[in-house]
């Protein structure tokens, strides 16, 4: 964007110095002056260094803002600055806690069932041992019993021994099964406890604390999503300072805490101006919102890729960003304020500058009509730096002439005096 303000001031100055001769031609009295070509660009003050505060990553659902400290609030390290909500996470946590309670109840029931089964088997073993002892006490009678009776008693004793071995094996098998089931259930309980603990840790992450002391500010990073408004999908920007009830995007910073000791300006320029801007060019920075602060700086960085602003799906605005350093007044320029940046493209001290409209082409030459009484002499000139309003004259004028701002009628034009050597 051209500096229309500076151009208007210049035009006002030289129009004041203009006079209208009797011929009706508007003239201007020249004097040597400084030539300055400036591009004015709107910008926003930003901190050079900032701490980005991110939303927690890898969540089990969408995040919304429950509460947040207002933008511009001063916080100390460790202060609570934002509380988020995640309905899906809370539902999953409730489900996992109920599952854990069920598993623990099942574990207690299994322990009771196993204890009962072991007690029953133990009683059966003891009962069988008692029967074997009784049969062994009757061994004296076997000496005097008939053969059939002896055979029956021996079989009863062998049956008791078989039953004892069977009960011992069953006891060991039941014990192994019970221990295996108990280990499996306890493993499931540990897994459930880990899931509950993980989700409880996620719930704790919903509360954000300030990592350092400073002033809360909106993040500069923006994203884009497609939203349907009924007439088709349209892109909208996401980001900015979080608001209660608003949705959060974990890939974007929630907010930043800028370092106020060093500021810079991020300015926007059109493509035609961007091509003329170079690193190291001088800049005058004006911040009206801070009691009219005016400071200086330099073009620090000139990114190559253009930015796109989407006014609507069909209307886009392309611009380029440049970064401008700030020489002083850092602590009086809070981030977020707008600034006007006058970028010095060219500057020549003590030279002859004429309005561009006062230069005419005649016979393949550039001429300026210099007043000579009521007439004008066509003075051949050579030009230097130029813009739409002003042009430097490198030769042909001394800077003390009165020149015409419009081409005079032919009857008022005099031929220049020839030298005596011609």
- The answer on 229 and 193 residing in a single domain is no
- The answer on 132 and 58 residing in a single domain is no
- The answer on 188 and 61 residing in a single domain is no
Domain assignment present for residue 317? The answer is yes
What is the pTM for the complete model shown?
Answer: 0.60
Answer whether residue 237 shows pLDDT above 60.
no
Percent of the chain residues past pLDDT 90, beyond the cut:
40
DSSP secondary structure letters along 87-120: HHHHHHHHHHHHHHHHHHHHHHHHHHHHHHHHHH
Domain assignment present for residue 364? The answer is yes
Answer whether residue 322 shows pLDDT above 90.
yes
- The answer on 145 and 32 residing in a single domain is no
- The answer on 224 and 149 residing in a single domain is no
Domain assignment present for residue 399? The answer is yes
pLDDT for res 225: 45
- The answer on 290 and 372 residing in a single domain is yes
- The answer on 152 and 37 residing in a single domain is no
Q: At 314, which CATH number?
A: 2.40.30.170
Domain assignment present for residue 422? The answer is no
pLDDT for res 140: 59
User: What does the pLDDT look like over 202-230, one tens digit per residue?
Assistant: 899 899 999 988 889 888 765 544 444 45
Domain assignment present for residue 152? The answer is yes
Among candidate residues 169, 185, 205, the one where a domain is terminated: 205
- The answer on 15 and 117 residing in a single domain is no
Q: In what order do the strands lie in the sheet with 63-68?
A: 207-209, 80-85, 63-68, 247-248
Q: Higher model confidence: residue 393 or residue 332?
A: 393
| Residues spanned by the domain of 143 | 88-205
Answer whether residue 68 shows pLDDT above 80.
yes
- The answer on 141 and 212 residing in a single domain is no
Contact of 27 with 405, CB cutoff 8 Å? yes
User: What does the pLDDT look like over 239-292, one tens digit per residue?
Assistant: 678 899 888 877 788 889 998 889 999 999 998 899 999 999 999 999 988 788
pLDDT for res 111: 84
User: Do strands 74-75 and 214-215 pair parallel, antiparallel, or not at all (unpaired)?
Assistant: antiparallel
Answer whether residue 12 shows pLDDT above 60.
no
Alpha-carbon span 336 to 99, nearest angstrom: 50
Q: Higher model confidence: residue 59 or residue 102?
A: 102
Looking at the structure of the chain, the number of domains it has is 3
Identify the weakest region by mean pLDDT among 159-168, 280-289, 294-303, 324-333.
159-168
Domain assignment present for residue 218? The answer is yes
3-state secondary structure of 363: coil
Identify the weakest region by mean pLDDT among 68-77, 91-100, 164-173, 264-273.
164-173
**For range 303-329, the mean pLDDT:** 84
- The answer on 275 and 198 residing in a single domain is no
Among candidate residues 195, 225, 254, the one where a domain is terminated: 254
Answer whether residue 4 shows pLDDT above 70.
no
Average pLDDT, the chain: 82
Identify the weakest region by mean pLDDT among 145-149, 197-201, 348-352.
145-149
- The answer on 300 and 399 residing in a single domain is yes
pLDDT for res 265: 95
pLDDT for res 267: 95
Contact of 342 with 38, CB cutoff 8 Å? yes
Percent of the chain residues past pLDDT 70, beyond the cut:
80
Which conformational region is residue 7 in: left (phi greater than 0), alpha (psi within -120 to 50 degrees), or beta? alpha
- For 410, residues 6+ apart whose C-beta sits below 8 A from its C-beta are none
- The answer on 272 and 193 residing in a single domain is no
Domain assignment present for residue 346? The answer is yes
Domain assignment present for residue 312? The answer is yes
């Amino acid at each position: 964007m051209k500096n229309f303000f500076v151009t208007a001031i210049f035009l006002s100055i030289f129009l004041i110095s203009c006079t209208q001769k009797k011929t009706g031609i508007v003239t201007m009295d020249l004097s040597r002056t400084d030539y300055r070509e400036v591009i004015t660009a709107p910008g926003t003050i930003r901190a050079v260094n900032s701490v980005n505060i991110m939303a927690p990553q890898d969540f089990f659902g969408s995040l919304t803002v429950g509460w947040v400290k207002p933008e511009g609030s001063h916080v100390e390290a460790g202060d609570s600055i934002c509380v988020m909500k995640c309905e899906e996470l809370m539902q999953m946590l409730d489900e996992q806690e109920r599952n854990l309670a069920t598993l623990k109840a099942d574990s207690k029931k299994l322990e009771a069932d196993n204890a009962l089964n072991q007690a029953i088997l133990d009683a059966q073993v003891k009962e069988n041992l008692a029967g074997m002892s009784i049969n062994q006490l009757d061994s004296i009678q076997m000496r005097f019993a008939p053969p059939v009776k002896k055979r029956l008693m021996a079989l009863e004793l062998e049956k008791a021994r078989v039953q004892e071995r069977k009960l011992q094996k069953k006891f060991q098998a039941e014990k192994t099964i019970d221990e295996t089931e108990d280990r499996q259930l306890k493993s499931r309980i540990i897994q459930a406890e880990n899931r509950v603990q993980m989700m409880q840790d996620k719930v704790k992450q919903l509360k954000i604390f300030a990592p350092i002391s400073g002033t809360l500010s909106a993040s500069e990073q923006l994203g884009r999503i497609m939203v349907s408004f009924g007439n088709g999908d349209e892109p909208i920007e996401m980001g900015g300072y979080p608001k209660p009830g608003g949705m959060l995007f974990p890939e974007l910073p929630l907010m930043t805490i800028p370092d106020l000791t060093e500021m810079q300006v991020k300015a926007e320029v059109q493509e035609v101006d961007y091509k003329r801007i170079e690193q190291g060019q001088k800049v005058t920075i004006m911040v009206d919102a801070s009691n009219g602060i005016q400071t200086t700086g330099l073009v620090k960085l000139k990114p190559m890729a253009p930015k796109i602003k989407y006014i609507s799906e069909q209307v886009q605005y392309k611009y380029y960003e440049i970064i401008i350093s700030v020489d002083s007044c850092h602590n009086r320029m809070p981030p977020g304020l707008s600034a006007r940046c006058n970028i010095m493209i060219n500057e020549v001290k003590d030279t002859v500058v004429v309005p561009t409209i006062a230069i005419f082409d005649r016979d393949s030459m550039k001429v300026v009509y210099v007043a000579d009484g009521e007439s004008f002499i066509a003075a051949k000139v050579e030009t230097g730096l130029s813009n739409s309003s002003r042009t430097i004259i490198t030769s042909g004028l001394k800077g003390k002439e009165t020149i015409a701002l419009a081409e005079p009628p032919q009857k008022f034009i005099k031929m220049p005096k020839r030298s005596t050597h011609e």
